[in-house]
Structure 1
């Protein structure tokens, strides 16, 4: 008996039988290379992608894979629809986002100012940049002059709250299609409108747009733009921390949040193009997700941030699990079971949330009846977080003391302990007096142990080719090379043993390179490390 007749694919251009599939989206066919090139020029280049945006009652608009996506594959590369400074912060350039340092002008320290509107800028080149032209013209036409001046280092300036919304509003005339795309994004204005921040924005931002600049927008439209920014904007920053901006990427905004995401994103070039990269293989039909929060935070803190900043409650698998995949990243030890009469031989029982999706739920011991209220967890987290923030990052001692001080209270994976461990990982091997060659054997071992601990955690919370994993692998392989040298010099291993351990380091380095090579700033470092390790492999003496 014959089965159903197989449908013959047709050429996207001429609708004749075709056998050449698009290598990008795997969705359309062509009868020849000539028609593939023609189809690309006629618009397929704007549609060719490995995903589609769809809607459901449960998830709203979200992004799903239209084909199997490989680990490390770039899923999306997108220009910012609109970009601007953060709501407030120290003085920084309106064009490039660089944090500004004062210069001496007529015996007074101040910033370079735009010669037309008086906003602080880097210099004449940034003053003339396209991104600043429209806002500068409207402010100059209305004879508005910015009053920001240098008074003290890192003084927070609230005046920046007007720039990003203004840029979006001005696009109504300069780029109406993109303006409509932005205005179609979720705003959650109804959830924000009565918050203290939006009460201030009503007074300042709305007044600035309507009365100072005389622009024809009503209060609702102005506040909606501000809320769209707060809901959808990506925090754009360069690796060295000298530049920080907010940008809206319309397509990337369609990706849903997950506390265990399957992608990561990076920013490319001076135009801050957003590139979304698969950290794990993603199957056809699977949702493509990113994270809006820090992975190394407990559910209690992540939920609070998402509710305040993004106006939704996450119900992902990690948030539903009171142990967070067995990591206990938000947990503390039970003070009863682990007190003076507790059994120190068994696994030490933890306090975990009785309902992780309810921030008011009590935290109960896994073993006994002891419990504490959620507000006690909040208070404890805040108090220890403040204590940790006060530690100066100029040496390891205080961070080690913090970990030891709370070792009977906080699980080794508790997010506060992890912050201290990450600080130690940066100090050991990188800071003056603590470079790898200077570290005594016990501190070198400490660095190696920290790397292994954090890699194990990364596998559980942020699996695959995350930047977190890539940077730890770089630290680990560098420390392993130094350890190998010392073991050889102490005659603990043979030349053959050296080769084996260096090959293991090379495997780790190659994986780090696979993860990080998409980031232009990392390429020179990776190439230098691979070259150096290759030389060691050839001449281990």
Structure 2
């Protein structure tokens, strides 16, 4: 029988957090927590290996939907370049919202744009403000029109870490022990600019006692370890370092998702699938709907490592074919090989960006640089489309239907845009959609859910959002068919119960998302009312 962690007597109450420690009573559990278990109670441990470096491993079985980590940022601040934002809360600033003189509210001491007096007085701004005012430095950012990108913000986040060396030396040391990869970045064009701007600002303008290597190391630690932080409404976008979460290994098919909670941007890491004891706990540092060429290029550039996960090794990307195109020889309508219609071009070695791409049936091949060029050209075409006009996305899909596989990542992104437009945008709401487009939305949701089940299975936000879109379209279709007499009350009830099952799963996935509470409650109310309206009379 297990024994109590405090008194070593027989115990049957297990710690709900780590599931590793037992207590004989509630008072001893509280005592054990105060005496140090709170610092050890977690479902993971940090390990080191030559291949992975520091990484996170589950110390017990972790349930789907379980919160593994909740962590406040060690440091948070603006991105390297961004539109004018408040240094304290990160809100994008527009003088029209705050003042009538076509300029921002400015900190009364250092002159940096802020929301107002409350943000000016915030603790996070005080150290940098003092460092600047002590040297009589005044920020000179002026309003130059909406969305004007400012390069001056590159100094703020690194400066906040450097100032911790005296205000919070323990936190400073913890951050400085993170991987930087400075040796790989030092001669890049970006770091040549940072040498001129960031180092000059810290050393010459502010007169702080740091050498060039330390300053650039801090910048590189940010680039290697920071998370892109966004508020639910999109009004704030920053970058932050989370000391524990940064230990998670990357995977292009992760077993966790993360969200940001509250105005102080606590990060919650949540298991999207069951994780077994001993398994790696993984996150993704790129976009799941990008093809392997784009994902690996992004990781090489931003995080300085070559991903060799299961998905990246597979030429078909776990059977999704996100990076594949049709073979122009086998799919030539006048060609001799009619039995090879649908044959695809796949990479001969996905882990080598210079490897040629070859048809899976015939001997036709394409050089890697041709694939990269074509991918980039079509990506630019996609990015030019108006995000509110569905016909442009439909035309893109049709235009490249003989070239791109139906689940090529560019087609998938176009289809996802259509799912978001149909049923949600003005002029295309569910009540306004003709039956043909309503069915189109249903078909697209089913297609994308098949991809989500392979790339982001379980309780991922991608799957949850698709389930919610599918449920809404199914409910509208049932409502129309009931009102036109195509469905009896019993048949409508059966269809609505299927919609309810989808809504329940979507709610399980999305209820922790800060911006989804009202939407989910409205969906549940609407579906409940429809179920009542179609209930058989008693």
What does residue 63 of structure 1 align with?
A: 56
The 1:406–1:104 alpha-carbon spacing in structure 2 relative to 1, beyond 3 Å, is closer
Map 1:355-366 → 2, pairs under 5 A = 355-366=349-360
Map 1:424-435 → 2, pairs under 5 A = 424-435=418-429
What does residue 25 of structure 1 align with?
A: 18
What does residue 399 of structure 1 align with?
A: 393
Deviation, 1:344, is 5.6
- Correspondence for 1:146 among 112, 136, 139: 139
Map 1:68-467 → 2, pairs under 5 A = 68-103=61-96, 108-342=101-335, 343=337, 348-467=342-461
CA displacement 1:74-129 (0-9 Å, x = unmatched): 01000000000000011111111111112499974121111111111111111111
CA contact (8 A) 2:4 2:10 kept: yes
What does residue 37 of structure 1 align with?
A: 30
- Name which of structure 1's ranges 50-59 and 345-354 shifts more when overlaid on structure 2: 345-354
CA displacement 1:205-263 (0-9 Å, x = unmatched): 01111111111111111111100000000000012211100000000000000000000
CA contact (8 A) 2:327 2:343 kept: yes
Taking the aligned partners of 1:77 and 1:356, their CA distance within structure 2 comes to 35
CA contact (8 A) 1:79 1:274 kept: yes
Deviation, 1:43, is 2.5
SS in 1 for 2:149: coil
Deviation, 1:10, is 4.3
Taking the aligned partners of 2:258 and 2:388, their CA distance within structure 1 comes to 30
Q: CA RMSD in A?
A: 1.5
CA displacement 1:44-75 (0-9 Å, x = unmatched): 22221111111112211110111110000001
CA contact (8 A) 1:104 1:110 kept: no
Taking the aligned partners of 2:30 and 2:100, their CA distance within structure 1 comes to 63
Taking the aligned partners of 2:10 and 2:482, their CA distance within structure 1 comes to 66
CA contact (8 A) 1:20 1:32 kept: yes
CA displacement 1:338-369 (0-9 Å, x = unmatched): 11334566550111000000001000000011
Deviation, 1:22, is 1.4
- Name which of structure 1's ranges 39-48 and 235-244 shifts more when overlaid on structure 2: 39-48
Taking the aligned partners of 2:98 and 2:11, their CA distance within structure 1 comes to 70
What does residue 47 of structure 1 align with?
A: 40
Number of residues paired by the alignment?
A: 534
CA contact (8 A) 2:331 2:341 kept: no
Taking the aligned partners of 1:348 and 1:532, their CA distance within structure 2 comes to 43
- Name which of structure 1's ranges 530-539 and 68-77 shifts more when overlaid on structure 2: 530-539
What does residue 6 of structure 2 align with?
A: 13
- Name which of structure 1's ranges 465-474 and 97-106 shifts more when overlaid on structure 2: 97-106
Normalised to the residue count of structure 1, the TM-score between the two structures is 0.96
